[in-house]
Amino acid sequence: MARRGLLRPLTHAALLTTVGLVALTGCGGAEAGPKLALSAALPDAPADGTVLRVGDPATQVALETSGLIDELDVDVEWANITGGPKTLEAFRADAIDIGSVADIPPLFAHWTGTDVRIVAARETVDPMEHPTYELGIAPGVDVESIEDIEGKKVAYSPGQAQGALVLNVLREAGLSQDDVELVEMQSVDDAFSVALAGNQVDVAPLGQALVKTYLAKYEQDGASTIAPGVRDDAWTLYAPTEVLEDADKAAAVKEYVGLWAQAQQWISDHPEEFAEAYYVDHEGLSPEDAQYVVEALGEFTVPTSWDEFIARHQETVDTLVEAQDQEPLDVETLYDRRFEKAIAAAVEGSQ
């Protein structure tokens, strides 16, 4: 299939280019739909005029490029927002209804007073062979295995997936937080790679989109990366609970997550098309770097039963409770399993 222009007019979705949260706030200004109990069945369709505000640019690109966008009946306003901190900020500003993040941001949203629910889950087919992150090593620092990070300065972002990764790596290496110097900072844009290059930290988790560019710039100076040796592939869609208590918004989310699941499968089945459309055209990577990223990340799968996913998420929660003195949490209470059934039906119907 020929790749569609990413900024073409959309039949069923309105493209919203964001320059900041001020431009977004109030975009959902239509009258709220009927109140829906969290235990009630999801409505089949939203009322006419319902708009779903989505912070999920990778899926937007996949839907447009694949043509699946034409199957989306609900009106969508797309926000170019990614990452845990920006997504949570957008929720609190009433700027978006649903966001795409790893498994840590929903936990910290809960722990910091924002009531949220997880409505979709994604994982990697072969997660140990295709880690989401590698550990970047600063130029001149001698680290060849995770055990070698003892005594090193390690970039640490408590409210993001990278923070949990660091804790899991320490556990896997038989080390404690006292065995390293944790340097707290947010992993936004290329902050971690800049900190590595400037020797502000010795070790930092780098997403695959940054690994290639980091090595291209600094490998000649002695920079390197190593595999984290732990599983780090959990990905979720989540939404403020009040969104799901609006019957029309909940119905819109139900439709969206079904197409979202199909889009993840399309990404796995069409890595070259997705690499060009998202990593080259949207993210500005070179074709070579884009190809590296999709090969490094491997294939995705959307589980239609969440039992194992939730069990692994609980292990992460327990790690954070112990290491960060967080409030104990039964993580299943954050999952809205009505959408598990909706996704299973959508996946089965597309096969």
How much is the pLDDT for 275? Answer: 97
CATH no. for 14-125+233-350: 3.40.190.10
How much is the pLDDT for 284? Answer: 93
Residues 116 and 107: beta-carbon distance below 8 Å: no
- Number of neighbours of residue 130 by Cβ within 10 angstroms: 17
Domains 14-125+233-350 and 133-226 agree in fold: yes
Q: Report H helices in 25-138.
A: 57-66, 84-92, 105-111
How much is the pLDDT for 350? Answer: 73
How much is the pLDDT for 30? Answer: 54
Residues 30 and 49: beta-carbon distance below 8 Å: yes
- Number of neighbours of residue 77 by Cβ within 10 angstroms: 20
Q: Which of 74, 23, 29, 1 is nearest to 273 (CA)?
A: 1
Would you list the domain boundaries of the chain?
14-125+233-350, 133-226
136-169 burial code (b ≥16 CB/10 A, e <16): bbbbebebeebebbeebbbbbbbbbbbbbbbbbb
What SS3 state is found at 224?
strand
How much is the pLDDT for 187? Answer: 83
Task: Kindly give the confidence (pLDDT) of every residue in the chain, 351 residues in length, as a single tens digit, with 9 standing for 90 and above.
Answer: 333 333 333 334 444 433 344 334 444 445 688 999 999 999 999 999 999 999 999 999 999 999 999 999 999 999 999 889 999 999 999 999 999 999 999 999 999 999 999 999 999 999 999 999 999 999 999 999 999 999 999 999 988 899 999 999 999 999 999 999 999 998 877 899 999 999 999 999 999 989 988 999 999 999 999 999 999 999 999 999 999 999 999 999 999 999 999 999 999 999 999 999 999 999 999 999 999 999 999 999 999 999 999 999 999 999 999 999 999 999 999 999 999 999 999 988 776
How much is the pLDDT for 189? Answer: 74
How much is the pLDDT for 219? Answer: 96
- Number of neighbours of residue 228 by Cβ within 10 angstroms: 21
CATH classification number, 133-226, choose in 3.30.1370.160, 1.10.645.10, 1.20.120.450, 3.40.190.10: 3.40.190.10
How much is the pLDDT for 349? Answer: 76
Q: Using alpha carbons, list the distances in angstroms from residue 84 to 54, 90, 122, 157, 188.
A: 14, 10, 16, 11, 9
